[in-house]
């Protein structure tokens, strides 16, 4: 399986659990939420408040696949439920969420796949309101020098996948995430040059209407 295909599968089935950038085997993923301290609860509240103030964002992403293959591109996101990953050439991939489905196009293989957004870890990040309730397992909250990491998993499917949210801290700023698939393979996304709460043309989240999307992209440049 190529790194590119593994990333797509990870997006589809890693329905929220987490892998920190430490040498932790995926098999050790918890089957239940950790006991959270008062500081953990406070940090989760800060993160939820932060996400709920971010209605849209655009910028750059760097993806590092399990075998170390690096890809770059542009990311757009609008709440609720919409995002677009445009990979720079020569990677022939496009990933778009229209709010209900994630559409993944591989121009090299000439294939298009559709996955329900709710079956992926990114659903948590693009909900209309982010709430860390009983539907989200919290494996751990870790703090370091100006960094905050939160380990999440799906309580009813703890072995299906993993998601680590990474933040710069003081001030809090979303920096990226790591997805771990069911085979324990990690795909890391790092964000850069992010503009928060810009006006984004909704046509960017429409798959299939290429002329309209091209016009929308031209307006952003």
Max Cα distance, the chain (Å): 52
What is the distance between the alpha carbons of residues 110 and 53, in angstroms, rounded to a whole number? 38
Q: Identify the CATH number of the domain in which residue 200 sits.
A: 2.50.20.10
Q: Provide the b/e sequence for 131-153 (b: ≥16 CB within 10 Å).
A: ebeeebbbbbbeeeeeebbbbbb
Query: DSSP letter at 91?
Result: -
Q: Tell me which H or E stretch contains 44.
A: helix 38-53
Number of domains making up the chain = 1
What is the distance between the alpha carbons of residues 30 and 176, in angstroms, rounded to a whole number? 22
* Residue spans of the chain under pLDDT 50: 1-31, 213
Whether the pTM exceeds 0.85: the reply is no
pLDDT of residue 133: 84
What is the distance between the alpha carbons of residues 164 and 187, in angstroms, rounded to a whole number? 10
Mark residue 176 as left, alpha or beta (left: phi above 0; alpha: psi -120 to 50; beta: remaining): left
pLDDT of residue 121: 66
Give the three-class secondary structure for 161.
coil
Parent domain of 39: 3-220
- At 16, give phi and psi (nearest 5°): 70, 95
Give the three-class secondary structure for 124.
helix
């Amino acid at each position: 399986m190529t790194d590119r295909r593994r990333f797509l599968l990870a997006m589809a089935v890693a329905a929220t659990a987490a892998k920190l950038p430490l040498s932790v085997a995926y098999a050790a993923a918890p089957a239940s939420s950790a006991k959270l301290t008062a500081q953990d609860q406070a940090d989760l509240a800060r993160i939820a408040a932060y996400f709920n103030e971010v209605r849209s964002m655009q910028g750059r992403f760097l993806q590092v696949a399990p075998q170390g293959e690096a890809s770059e591109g542009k990311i757009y996101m609008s709440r609720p439920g919409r995002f677009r990953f445009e990979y720079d050439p020569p990677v022939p991939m496009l990933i778009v969420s229209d709010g209900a489905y994630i559409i993944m196009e591989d121009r090299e293989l000439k294939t298009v796949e559709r996955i329900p957004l709710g079956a992926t870890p990114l659903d948590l990040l693009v909900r209309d309101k982010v709430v860390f309730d009983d539907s989200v397992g919290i494996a751990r909250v870790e703090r370091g020098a100006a960094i905050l990491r939160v380990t999440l998993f799906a309580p009813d499917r703890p072995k299906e996948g993993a998601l680590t949210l990474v933040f710069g801290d003081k001030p809090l700023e979303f920096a990226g995430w790591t997805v771990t698939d069911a085979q324990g393979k990690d795909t890391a996304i790092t964000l850069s040059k992010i503009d928060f709460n810009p006006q984004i043309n909704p046509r960017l989240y429409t798959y299939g209407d290429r002329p309209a999307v091209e016009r929308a992209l031209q307006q952003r440049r």
